[in-house]
Amino acid sequence: MRDLPLHELMEHLKNLSSSPYIHIFFWLMILDIVTGYIKAFKTKRFDSKIGTMGLIKHFVVFTVILLVAMYARSLGVRPLGITWTMFFIANYLGSVLENWEAIGWAFPEFLKPYINQIKKDNARKLGQLLVNIDQKDKIEVEVKEKDDATNQ
């Protein structure tokens, strides 16, 4: 393992400013923020606390992407940084498309089944998470009741 001098890391960070992947991600992130705010106002669900937390999340994600890409370049595994960035590009693209449809702007019909599938998958995952949490609570209660019964 080798030490990474700060000046080398800063040089890689500076070079990221010309990366098309970083540019695409950045503009998708901005578009996601804008369409998210428009969607919130249109659906009358604007909440400044949620908006602030969303902005913090975007800032953290952008920072992590820059750090991973910077270290990937410095360690000679640039494809790892590109893959990492492409993963987030895909996530943000899905979010922008979902916001776009929710706003009611013109939306290609052939994409609607994909967006609906993403929504269903997210709802299913959330439902499963809630079921798992509920089952865990029931198991903990049952175990506690058994422990109480054996102690008496």
- Distance, in Å, from the CA atom of 11 to the CA atom of 145, rounded to the nearest integer, reads 61
Domains in the chain, number: 2
Choosing from 106, 121, 136, the residue where a domain stops is 106
Note the pLDDT tens digit of each residue in 108-123. 777 767 666 766 666 6
**Enclosing domain of residue 140:** 108-152
- Rounded to two decimals, the pTM is 0.65
18-52 pLDDT, tens digit each: 888 989 999 999 999 999 989 888 888 877 877 78
Same domain, yes or no, for 85 and 23? yes
Query: What does the alpha-carbon distance between residue 16 and residue 9 come to, in Å, rounded to a whole number?
Result: 11
> Does residue 20 sit in the same domain as residue 83?
yes
